[in-house]
Amino acid sequence: MPIYALYALLFADSGLSDTSISVLFAIWSTTAIVFEVPSGAIADRFSRRSSLVAAGVLQASGYAAWVLFPSFWGFAAGFVLWGLGGTLTSGAFEALLYDGLAANGDESSYGRLNARIDTIGLIAQVPIAVVATALFSFGGYQLAGWVSVAMCLASSVIASRFPEPPRGSDDDEIGYFATLRTGVREAVPIKRAVLAVALVYAIDAFEEYFTLLAQDWRVPTVWVPMATIGVPLLGAAGASLAGRLPFRGWVLFASGVLLIVAAVLAVPFAIVLLGLFYGLYRFVLVHVETELQHRIESDARATVTSVAAIGSEILAFAVYGLWVLGSAAAVGVLILVVALVIWRR
């Protein structure tokens, strides 16, 4: 979405401090914590495809709130709506994809396909950054926001066309709360895989600060989307390699070191190191997400995935807090700690 490349700058240019921006991100995460697992159970009990359709509508409503009410409370309302949409997507998309492959006996290809999807999503940020720059030049944040609203609604239309494999007839007889309990119980025996996803995915919260970092590193606002265009490309390269190369525990540790070096340099060139950090991080993320899906055995796949996601949202508060206290360098130290935990286990 074009506004995605600009929204942190929108908050800053609307007069919000770094602390206020981190509070907004915390509101976003709190919404996910409250609704993540219940929404996963909704997808398992009713329809994963319908969850994706509703997610696009809610996200569009969130962006509209930002454009119409550019203030702290307008941004907060937008994050609540976006957070609700995100919880409906989280788990539902992975479950729809994995079960679709399993229906054809091809679940072993999930890792490669997941890496490909992640790669395409990151590469798509490049033309979007170009579009965001053009939209900002012609119509400012408002034009970028309304185009993003239209794109979200278009994504809902596309999601409505996704095939959804039929599940067992017993699923129709199982109630919502029974589905919820099944998913939570399933997460216990595979708690290490769930914890790995939670720890690694929580680091992704730092992505929200990339544009602010570029601005802090003396890149003019209008050029920030273009200056950071290489970051998702390197992220895409890392995700793509994850579909071809085995997991290596030291990779996440190396990414943390690169981030710390970039934070110490704090110059426009450091964006290159930021991109390298992101590429290594995405390599690890694809691997841990794939491993989790292979370990889930029940039909409550979306719910189990949401349990991991809720853990990541809770841990994301540490990222927000470290940004306020010590910026990127402090986040880099956190990544080193997470890397050591993942490496050992």
Tens digits of per-residue pLDDT, 7-16? Answer: 888 898 899 9
- 25 Cβ contact list (under 8 Å, min separation 6): 79, 205, 208, 316, 320
The pLDDT assigned to 32 comes to 81
Please provide the CATH number assigned to the domain covering 2-344.
1.20.1250.20
The pLDDT of residue 170 = 52
Spell out, as residue ranges, where the chain has pLDDT lower than 70.
Answer: 167-184, 186-189, 298, 326, 344-345
Closest CA to 174 of 263, 274, 44, 19: 44
Contact call for residues 61 and 6 (beta carbons, < 8 A): no
DSSP letter (8 states) at residue 2: G
- Does this model's pTM top 0.85? My answer is no
pLDDT of residue 280: 95
pLDDT value of position 179: 62
User: Which pLDDT belongs to residue 82?
Assistant: 92
Whether the Cβ atoms of residue 273 and residue 232 lie closer than 8 Å to each other: no
Which single residue is written with the structure tokens 């919820």? 180
In this predicted structure, what is the pLDDT of residue 176?
A: 60
